[in-house]
């Protein structure tokens, strides 16, 4: 059911410093920073030949990544994102198999303008897992 790895997200407390690591030290192509107030994060995408890295920095008071950064002050891998052909078909199959979808269970429009949803990390090997409609 899942297809390509769309991105790996890394939560950071200083997105400018994190971007510089990828751009200057690792020599990667990086996007401009974008604020995503609906999601409580600012993002920078690192474009690699076969996938992307999504840098996430908290935005606003109720950022969903604030707690993660309290536990991981130097940053860390926050989630992985896989592409699916039809997000509602994928969701319904996973829910039927007992997986938990975070939030109200309905897809939201993600950072790329496509529907996404998040699956409970306890159901997926301790890893927060995002699905994005390809």
Residues within the interface to Co ion (CB under 5 A)? 9, 54, 81, 130
Measured CA to CA, the distance from residue 124 to residue 20 in angstroms comes to: 31
Nearest approach, Cβ of residue 86 and Co ion (Å): 19
Catalytic position from the list 54, 57, 130, 132 = 130
- Is residue 54 annotated as a catalytic residue, yes or no? no
Measured CA to CA, the distance from residue 65 to residue 81 in angstroms comes to: 16
Q: Could you tell me the two tokens for 70?
A: 């309290």
Measured CA to CA, the distance from residue 7 to residue 78 in angstroms comes to: 11
In terms of Cα–Cα distance, which of 78, 33, 41 is closest to 59? 41
Nearest approach, Cβ of residue 126 and Co ion (Å): 17
Beta strands in the chain (DSSP E): 5-11, 29-30, 34-36, 41-47, 52-58, 76-84, 108-109, 115-119, 129-133
Q: Between residues 94 and 116, which has the closer beta carbon with respect to Co ion?
A: 116
Q: Between residues 7 and 94, which has the closer beta carbon with respect to Co ion?
A: 7
Nearest approach, Cβ of residue 28 and Co ion (Å): 17
Q: Which of the residues are catalytic?
A: 130
């Amino acid at each position: 059911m899942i297809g390509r790895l769309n991105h790996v997200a890394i939560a950071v407390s200083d997105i400018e410093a994190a971007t510089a690591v990828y751009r200057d030290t690792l020599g990667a192509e990086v996007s401009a920073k974008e604020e995503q107030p609906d999601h409580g994060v600012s993002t920078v995408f690192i474009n690699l030949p076969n996938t992307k890295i999504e840098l996430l920095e908290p935005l606003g008071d109720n950022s969903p990544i604030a707690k993660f950064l309290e536990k991981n002050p130097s940053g860390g891998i926050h989630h992985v994102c896989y592409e699916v052909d039809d997000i509602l078909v994928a969701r319904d199959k996973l829910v039927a198999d007992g997986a938990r979808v975070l939030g109200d269970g309905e897809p939201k429009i993600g950072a790329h303008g496509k529907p996404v949803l998040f699956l409970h990390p306890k159901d997926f090997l301790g890893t927060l897992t995002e699905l994005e409609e390809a």
